[in-house]
Homo-oligomer: A and B are copies of this chain.
């Protein structure tokens, strides 16, 4: 996505966290990381610090939540899908790029399970993608790059389904509060952006995409 590059992968493990054992339901969990060289000044490796930063924890929880909200976990069986989003190059919007890319990896992994006859349907209820919007120098901007993001008065991440409904909205008035009108303007932009992203996801997934839409 522009100069932001993220490797998104999905790997399936044949067990679930303790709280789901015996439930017949599956789980999706995500991890997120930035390579030290993904930013202008080198980012210290969290493995070297010995702990995840608060920001990383927030993002990994956000990605997991977004993907879980569009899947039927009870049709996945007692399996965990591990989503890994590793940022190779960062120019703003890494968390939204991660969600959009991770969805493609997730469907791809589920397709493999289906091909191997391990699940009878691809249990996706909706497409899901995410985009950032914000107010920079009094103008509403879609998909902020790093420079814009650093100067934004309001910064919002919007996660939406293919049907145009909201999965998650996180908006912050970093330097000043924002009005209901500002909000509406930003959501209109986000809707437009997500519509385009879902088209891109469909192109990337090719035939598998139809497969989902038919509800199979």
Contact = CB atoms under 8 A, between A and B. Distances in A.
A69 B47 CA distance: 26
A166 B187 contact: no
Interface residues of A, number: 54
A54 B46 contact: no
A86 interface: yes
A35 to B, nearest CB: 5
Interface string A21-55: 00000000001010111000010011111111011
Contacts of A55: 61
A181 to B, nearest CB: 10
Interface string A162-175: 01011111111111
A108 to B, nearest CB: 12
Contacts of A57: 54, 57-58
Nearest to A60: B54
A47 B84 CA distance: 13
Interface stretch (A7-15, A110-118, A136-144, A197-205): A7-15
A190 to B, nearest CB: 11
A168 B9 CA distance: 31
Nearest to A105: B37
A52 B61 CA distance: 14
Interface string A100-137: 00000000000000000000000000100000000000
B31 A45 contact: yes
Interface of A: 7, 9, 11, 13, 31, 33, 35-37, 42, 45-52, 54-58, 60-61, 65, 69-70, 82, 84, 86, 88, 126, 160-161, 163, 165-180, 183, 187
15 contacts: A9-B37, A31-B36, A46-B47, A48-B52, A50-B51, A51-B51, A52-B54, A54-B58, A58-B58, A69-B175, A166-B173, A167-B172, A168-B172, A170-B171, A180-B187
